[in-house]
Chains A and B, each alone.
Chain A
Amino acid sequence: MALIDIKPHEIRKRMIDDIRRALQKPIQDRRWVMVIDQEKCVGCTACTTSCVAENHLPPGVVYRPVVEEEHGNYPNVRKSFLPRPCMQCDDPPCVKVCPAHATWKRMDGIIEINYKRCIGCRYCISACPYSARTFDMGYFYTDNTPEIMQYEREPNFEYGKAWPRKDRESSPVGNARKCTYCIHKVEKGMLPACVSTCIGDATYFGDANDPKSLIAELLASPRARKLREEEGTEPATTYLV
């Protein structure tokens, strides 16, 4: 079912235009939102992989797993797929519990973690109802090989700062980590990595405060649902079911 009247090859162009328009506004007027169309998701995990590549995630750290759900009994079986980034909750329990103000809600709705301040207590991990946070324990993919490869040490650019993986102690090792909506890319006018790699055009991104944006149109869909709405966390990430 075509949800809105847009040709597939125009989707990305329009989302990028939306982002660039939003960036003209002061930060407090933006509200970044991700919409995931479960009807279009084929469960290929390209988004998971591109996220690992973009953010140089080490073993054990994942921002956007794709959870498979099975429905029905043989021979009537179907699968659906639930990519699960951080929900960027409007009322985030992770922020409420952090003892060091190391994680907080930015004016554009993104929940940021200050890796330099986080003490690694993992209270936020316990408190997130979506298991969206993982603990960086300091692994490398090339552990137990003759050499830790340089590409694993290259910095990621989460929250617009460079975070090289110097050793097994310095941040972001020892910290809680989670999806940032690739805000470092977005603020340069680009799409989040998961959105630009999605082979099924199942993930959308944009500024919900801009009524002309594609995302605002999608949010008005009767298929729009939030994950575990009963938690009262008011997620920004929205699913079309």
Chain B
Amino acid sequence: MKRFIKSIVWLLAVIGFGVGIYGMYLRFTTGHRLADYGSYIPWGLWVAFYIYFIGLSAGSFLLSTLVYVARIERLEKIGKLALFTAFGCLVAALLSIWMDLGHMFRVGNVLLHMNLNSMMSWMGILYSSYFAIILVELWFALRVDLIETAQTGNSGSAAFAKFLSFGSTDTSKEAKARDHARLRVLGTIGVPLAIAFHGGVGALFGVVQARPHWNSGLMPIAFLIGALASGGALLTAVVYIWGPDKNKQQLNEIMKFLGKIVLALILFDFLLEIAEFLVGLYSLAPAERLPLEAILHGPYWYVFWIVHFLIGVVVPVIILFARAVPKGQPDKYVGGSIAFACLLVAVTFIAVRFNIVIPAQINPEIPGLEYAFGGPGLKFTYLPSIMEWLVAAWVTCFGVLLFLVGEKILPIVKDDNREVA
């Protein structure tokens, strides 16, 4: 079964990557002219994908700190997997936002001409640090395994592992203890960093006074909880398929533990959402009401009701309540059903991100503006174009393939922990 799922994921990723190349070709040859965003709705699908992936990354990174900082023993075996998932998502997120820039090759200006009043400059600083931390942390987490693979593995992966170990050979007890201490320090730095950068992405929207739908102190918090819920859910699904599964009992315990965490987080996230909706809908101001009404019964109502509410909240919550919460001997389908529920949460969370980015922009800041002057991009409606979808697919599949290939050639989960299934 797992082998089948893996092949499906490989297949989808390769197809998406291949088809997405056409989108990338269009993006690089026609710039932004085939996109549906423009001047009145300046941010579109790629921004939504960016905050989606950055949330997944932050969420699984924060869970990895349960291993390296809080030392929760039963999760020990999935620490590296969590870090690597966070890495894949981070790459996809950065690619996605990079595609969105009008001048992609000037992205360095964010650091070169930093404006500390701009949340976006802060993102530049925080992402660079986070990227570095994640790489260094991964290396220390993998160091001993790399050395062991270099000695025992087959020639190709052994050579690669040897290269990646950068000449380090010490696998003594003391060295391992040193690694652990370092990981703890790095993880400890990582926690506030992950909170800062993901809360910061929330603030990036939260500070925009011109868009009342974004302009709220709840934004950074909602982003964080959403990141934990979606990132945690993704990680849970990943653990089931790629994680250590030799010890069935242990795997089921991990799955139930993660399932419960995810359940609590989805519910909490949903609570925040309800608060935001109720308060917003009470308002008479069109700029507050209009985006919410568009979400609930606009032309794209199904994004909220079906994709997010039904498939992303109701169904997974029911499954998780039924499978992750009960005590006693789990049957053999527990892991699978929890993983399925979590996969639903992780995948459908893009709907939440989409509904954050787009509806806030549909209310004309000056009523009648759209009739004053016409031209491409001068409208207040938005539906992502094929090119935008293809680029988003490419970016997503790039991240997935990065994960799949890395998982194959790096000792993320060691063979003696894994059953071939």
Contacts and interface: CB of A to CB of B under 8 A. Distances in A.
User: A and B from one assembly?
Assistant: yes
A228 B122 CA distance: 29
A67 B366 contact: yes
Contact of A93 (B38, B210, B367, B378): B210
B336 interface: no
Q: Which of A93, A121, A128 has the most chain B CB within a 10 Å cutoff?
A: A121
Interface stretch (B19-27, B96-104, B248-256, B257-265): B96-104
A71 to B, nearest CB: 12
A48 B373 contact: yes
In which size bucket is the chain B interface?
A: 35 or more
Contact of A122 (B43, B107, B372, B375): B43
A55 to B, nearest CB: 14
A155 interface: no
The secondary structure that dominates the B interface is loop
Interface string A84-110: 100000000100111111100000000
B57 interface: no
A62 B374 CA distance: 9
A131 B40 CA distance: 7
Contacts of A227: 366
A137 B120 contact: no
B119 interface: yes
B230 interface: no
A59 interface: yes
Interface in B353-405: 361, 364-369, 371-373, 375-378
A134 interface: yes
Contacts of B110: 99-100, 119
Contacts of A65: 369, 372-373
Interface residues of A, number: 50
Nearest to B121: A99
Q: Which of A68, A69, A98, A176 has the most chain B CB within a 10 Å cutoff?
A: A98
A227 B38 CA distance: 24
B208 interface: yes
A137 B376 CA distance: 9
B39 interface: yes
B375 A231 contact: no
B106 interface: yes
Interface stretch (A166-174, A183-191, A213-221): A166-174
B115 interface: yes
B121 A135 contact: no
B102 A121 contact: yes
B123 to A, nearest CB: 8
Interface in B82-139: 100-103, 106-107, 109-110, 112-115, 117-121, 123-124
A135 B101 contact: no
Interface of A: 48, 59-62, 65-69, 82, 84, 93, 96-102, 117-123, 125-131, 133-139, 168-169, 171, 173-176, 227, 231
25 contacts: A60-B38, A66-B372, A67-B367, A67-B369, A67-B371, A68-B368, A97-B207, A102-B109, A119-B106, A119-B107, A120-B101, A120-B106, A121-B100, A122-B42, A123-B204, A126-B42, A129-B209, A129-B365, A130-B366, A131-B40, A135-B102, A137-B31, A138-B33, A139-B376, A231-B210
Query: 8 tightest CB-CB pairs across the interface, nearest first?
Result: A120-B102, A174-B102, A99-B120, A65-B372, A134-B39, A122-B42, A100-B109, A65-B373
Given A126-B43, A128-B365, A135-B38, 7 more contacts: A60-B39, A65-B372, A97-B120, A102-B113, A118-B103, A119-B107, A131-B40
